[in-house]
Amino acid sequence: MPIFDQGYQHWNGALTSHARRWWAVTRQGLRAQLRNRRTKYLVISAWVPALLLAAFLALWGLFEQKSSLLQPFFFLFQALPDEIKQGPKAYRTTIWTVAFHWFLWIELGVSMLLVLLVGPDLISQDLRFNAIPLYLSRPMRRFDYFLGKLGVIATFLAAVLIVPAVLAYVIGVGFSMDISVVRDTWRILAGSVAYGLIVAVVCGLVMLALSSLSRNSRLVAMMWAGVWLITWMISGAVGESLEDSKIKTRPWELISFTNNLHRIRQSLLDTGSAARQLEQLVVKAQEAAKTVAGGSLPGMQETRRGPFGIRLPMRRRPNNAAVPPPPPDVFGNREDDSRQIQQLRDLFESPYPWTWSAGVLLGLSVLAVGVLSTRVRSLDRLK
Amino acid sequence: MTRAATPMITTEPPTRRAVSGGTWSNISGILALFGVTLRRLCRGQRIWLGVLTAAVPILIVLLARSQGELPGDRADRTEAALVFGLMAQMLVPIMALWLASGLVQDEVEEQTLTYLLMRPVPRPLIYLTKLAAAILVSAAIASVSSILLQLTIHWDDPNRLTIALDRGGKLAGAFSLGLLAYNALFGLLGLAMKKPQGVGVIYIVVLEGVLANIDFIFRRFTILYYVRVLMLRWLGMDGKRFNVDASVAPSNAECIFTLIGIAAVLGVVGGIVFASREFRVKTPEAN
Amino acid sequence: MSDDGAAVVQFEGASKWYGNVIGLNKLDLIIPPGITGLLGPNGAGKSTLLQLATGQLRPSQGKVSVLGQRAWNNAELCRRVGLCPEQDAFYEWMSGREFVTFCARMSGMGPAAAREAAEGVLERVGLAPQMKRPIKGYSKGMRQRTKLAQALVHDPEVLFLDEPLTGTDPVVRHELIQIIRRIAAEGRTVVLSSHVLYEVEAITSNVILINHGRLVAEGNARQIRDLIDTHPHRIVIKSADNRALASRLVGYDDVVGVELRRRDGAILVETKRPDVFYGRLANLTVDEGLRIDEVYSDDDTLEAVFKYLVTTS
């Protein structure tokens, strides 16, 4: 029986291994997405916080060395507590942790927006234009296809989470002129990279699953907005409603997709340790303020704000300086003091274990993989 | 060779139908378009997303109730968090973004817009009719959600039905006015750009979400602020949590006029844009 | 019909750009009453031309008018014009009757009149038995009929049909051709586009050829044929001694090209003087004993005309 030419052009050259075939899909996806000006601008603007982080780490490095180069920026460090000023190296890990924490917090918001821009079309358009057979009729497995699409999201997220974090870290180490920085802060780098990978994989899988649920990419974008923003608002609303309930672990925070990612970040960066060191500083500052309020140190009856909004005692004034009357509720208010400490804890710690969030994210990822394998069928099962 | 399924084709010549012109002949077309747009919006994924969105606040109240009774202060706090926060700040604008931004885009993507543009209905009227349908659907969803929410919150009260209709009705009124403006805004956004979701979400989160919460002049440029002021007065709620002081806020009439005014201006602009824009249903879409 | 019998559709220096891509290039064209076939390969500018004529696109330059009125964004003109678009798109959840009734109502008819008109036109296009079924279950032929019905439901004077026969099987195609002929016979002006020549030939001999957004030729097939007399005539010769024959043919002054066709081994000759060439061919067989099995002109169909015009334009 003769075999007729059906237009298939046989390729006689060598084929790449399966391990690299996903890259063809990723490369094409990246090219397509980078044609969108808004995506390009967002990626570029996502680097602004990274520049600020790098600048901050560089200044901190110089501050540790008491470098004369720091003279023009000295005012920035005036507000720091004396403990930090006298022994900055003891606070190195804490300061770096806090800096990376805020950087990654901002970048997570940018990442969510980036996924909203680049993700919805990835599979929904292939479904809409019936393009999946074009992929699967090549020597390509469904896994390669998924990996290729995941690669598009992962590349963009790596570009705003991992790459800038690593570069900022390198700059920070470079300016510190001290190899012990690596010993003190390696965990922050490893944590940041791991966090970036987790965000890329989880967000990528969830977005791909959503994208495979509809041929309408606008609907996919709305579903992503729901996963990102509405779950966050729901978590807040449930929290308000159950604030005075017996539940102290605040499990409703698990409803929020981004809260779960924040919780993982806290664990990876060990922000709890940083919070405890900062807490000690706050407690010392509060005690010192109470002592001053007792009359032993005239001229220290005002407050000033340290980093992260922590209330600190004022520096000494000359005895003959005019002293304004203290605000009535500044000192000796235990409720106020404990609220400050609680706020600090809320910023860097959560009352529930990180494994709960990891479980939620893992469950979402498994669900996403299930949805993907059901919605994107193999060639022999396509209609 | 003949086919069993070959249809019969009549050879009778048609009788010429005189299709009258003028404004009044458009009314039939507008009503038909309104009906078809309503049916489109109430089909499949579109409506399910709306229903799911509307059900969220009610589910939260049910969750709170599962933790014990809902005493007065807790009920107030829950209501404030849901009504002022979740619904006004997120669910209502997101629903408008979803429904309004796709009014024309979906027709372009599905290549059905040609059938509308090839009819003697003036283009601005086509757009405004579709916008009106989106407003009606979103307002209906928000209203049902508001009444059911009030019923769930005040379930323990013997007069729960009266309270639900009274407070839910007022809430539905405030949301409907907000939806009027939001739909007009996001409808215009859907005409102006190919992928309005990103910009729409940034608008909802940053401009509406942040500016409306700060007690400064800029909050007067947000739709959310006027909706909240109306809710505050009509429901007698405490606006401290969102920095809204009813005594210095714009009057109710001012709020209503502003929301309707925003909707009218943006609707007219949308109509003009729709009339003057080319929609390349088949030929290449402009960059 | 048109007040001005000579020009139902008129393009005056009309151009249309899509960014850097040109869709239509300074087109001057008058389409008279009757059936006109618009021919051109894919991407020639046929759809752009039809969309400009139906007022969906605004000309970047020049003027486009239909029945003496500006075409762009002219709602009133839509009462007199119907379009059967190429895209296979509908409100899939509607039945054929609902869809055509909706289009009739959008055209200004009341509910009862619209329903009556829809049923009438669906019967005319042969879709009456299936009109209550949802469109999503329709075959390609039914979908084409539905599109035709919506274009006809308001009884337009001018009908634009964009690739109306695409994707249909021979039986459905034959039926649609009959319907289109009948529509034209009712006194309407019909402009239909296609890239398949025999489809157009089956409906009309009045054709317009466009390529790369430019008008290549217009008139009936015979007129176009006359236009290409200046072009080399293509003759196919099949011979057992094709190489020897080809080497002899190359030596004649009027022969401008000789090609050995790969697919059937025939010789394709291009000559400027076919009459002289045919006379000489007979002598070759008699005098030099070269065996010729088959001779025919490659220019007998409109397709050949079209090929000439398009490849040299």
Q: Please give the model's pTM, rounded to 2 decimal places.
A: 0.81
Q: What does the pLDDT read at residue A367?
A: 97
Local structure of residue C301 (DSSP, 8 states): S
The answer to whether residue A231 scores a pLDDT higher than 80 is yes
Q: Is C82 in contact with B11 (Cβ distance < 8 A)?
A: no
B28 lies within 8 A of chain C by CB: yes
Return the number of other C-beta atoms located less than 10 Å from residue A351's C-beta: 12
Q: Is A222 in contact with B89 (Cβ distance < 8 A)?
A: no
Q: pLDDT for A277-292, tens place per residue?
A: 888 888 887 777 777 6
Are the beta carbons of C11 and C28 closer than 8 angstroms?
Answer: yes
Which candidate, C127, C3, C17, places its Cα nearest to that of C61? Answer: C17
Residue in the block written with tokens 């901050």: A56
C154 lies within 8 A of chain B by CB: yes
Q: Alpha-carbon torsion A280, A285, A289, A292, what sign?
A: positive
Q: What does the pLDDT read at residue B19?
A: 55
Q: What does the pLDDT read at residue A333?
A: 60
Cα separation of A106 and A45, whole Å?
Answer: 12
Which candidate, B196, B194, B199, B190, places its Cα nearest to that of B287? Answer: B194
Q: Is C126 in contact with B25 (Cβ distance < 8 A)?
A: no
Residue C11 φ/ψ, nearest 5 degrees? -110, 125
The answer to whether residue A186 scores a pLDDT higher than 70 is yes
Instruction: Tell me what the pLDDT averaged over chain A comes to.
Output: 83
Q: What does the pLDDT read at residue A159?
A: 96
Q: pLDDT for A151-173, tens place per residue?
A: 999 999 999 999 999 999 999 99
Q: What does the pLDDT read at residue C198?
A: 72
Give the number of beta-carbon pairs within 8 Å between B and C: 140
Contacts of B22 (CB under 8 A, 6+ apart): none
Cα separation of A291 and A150, whole Å?
Answer: 59
Overall average pLDDT of the A329-350 stretch: 70
Q: What does the pLDDT read at residue A72?
A: 77
Contacts of A261 (CB under 8 A, 6+ apart): A108, A195, A198, A199, A202, A357, A361
Q: pLDDT for B23-66, tens place per residue?
A: 667 889 999 999 999 999 998 777 888 888 889 999 999 888 88
Whether A contacts B, i.e. 3 or more CB pairs less than 8 A apart, is: yes
End-to-end CA distance of chain B: 51
Q: How long is chain B?
A: 287
- pLDDT-derived band of residue A134, with 50, 70 and 90 as boundaries? confident
Higher-pLDDT residue of A290, B251: B251
Across the interface, of B3, B26, B112, the residue whose CB is closest to C108 is: B26
B241, closest residue in chain A (CA to CA): A240
ipTM for the whole predicted complex goes beyond 0.90:
no
The answer to whether residue A11 scores a pLDDT higher than 80 is no
Q: What does the pLDDT read at residue A381?
A: 59
The answer to whether residue B218 scores a pLDDT higher than 80 is yes
Q: What does the pLDDT read at residue C211?
A: 85
What is the nearest CA distance from C136 to chain B, expressed in angstroms? 13
Range from A84-98, B136-150, C94-108 carrying the lowest mean pLDDT: A84-98
Alpha-helical regions (H) of B12-100? 23-41, 44-66, 72-80, 92-100
Counting Cβ atoms within 10 Å, is residue B36 exposed (0-12), middle (13-18) or buried (19+)?
Answer: buried
Q: What does the pLDDT read at residue A382?
A: 55
The answer to whether residue B14 scores a pLDDT higher than 60 is no
- How far is CA A137 from each of CA A126, A127, A149, rounded to the nearest angstrom? 14, 15, 17
Counting Cβ atoms within 10 Å, is residue A277 exposed (0-12), middle (13-18) or buried (19+)?
Answer: middle
What does the DSSP assignment read for B240-270?
GGGT--TTTSPPHHHHHHHHHHHHHHHHHHH
Residue A373 φ/ψ, nearest 5 degrees? -70, -25
Q: Is B106 in contact with A38 (Cβ distance < 8 A)?
A: no
Calculate the dihedral angle through the C-alpha atoms of A26, A29, A34, A37, rounding to the nearest 10 degrees. Answer: -150
The rounded percent of chain A whose pLDDT value lies above 90 is: 46
Q: Is A243 in contact with B77 (Cβ distance < 8 A)?
A: yes
Cα separation of A51 and A100, whole Å?
Answer: 12
Whether B contacts C, i.e. 3 or more CB pairs less than 8 A apart, is: yes
Tokens encoding A313: 């005692």
DSSP 3-state of C94: coil
Q: What does the pLDDT read at residue A332?
A: 47
Return the number of other C-beta atoms located less than 10 Å from residue A7's C-beta: 5
Q: What does the pLDDT read at residue C20?
A: 83
B114 lies within 8 A of chain C by CB: yes
Overall average pLDDT of the B82-111 stretch: 92
Cα separation of C90 and C143, whole Å?
Answer: 9
Return the number of other C-beta atoms located less than 10 Å from residue B179's C-beta: 31
Residue in the block written with tokens 């010789």: C267
Q: Residue C63 is inside which H or E element, if any?
A: strand C61-66
What is the nearest CA distance from A277 to chain B, expressed in angstroms? 32
Q: What does the pLDDT read at residue C135?
A: 95
Overall average pLDDT of the A44-71 stretch: 88
Q: What does the pLDDT read at residue B171?
A: 95
- pLDDT-derived band of residue A18, with 50, 70 and 90 as boundaries? confident
Which candidate, C206, C185, C188, places its Cα nearest to that of C30? Answer: C206
The answer to whether residue B71 scores a pLDDT higher than 70 is no
Higher-pLDDT residue of B167, B285: B167
Overall average pLDDT of the A32-57 stretch: 92
Overall average pLDDT of the B116-128 stretch: 94
What is the nearest CA distance from B86 to chain A, expressed in angstroms? 6
Contacts of A323 (CB under 8 A, 6+ apart): A298, A299, A301, A317
- pLDDT-derived band of residue A47, with 50, 70 and 90 as boundaries? very high
Tokens encoding B115: 């059938």
- pLDDT-derived band of residue A245, with 50, 70 and 90 as boundaries? confident
* Positions in chain C whose pLDDT score sits under 50: 1-4, 313
Q: What does the pLDDT read at residue C312?
A: 55
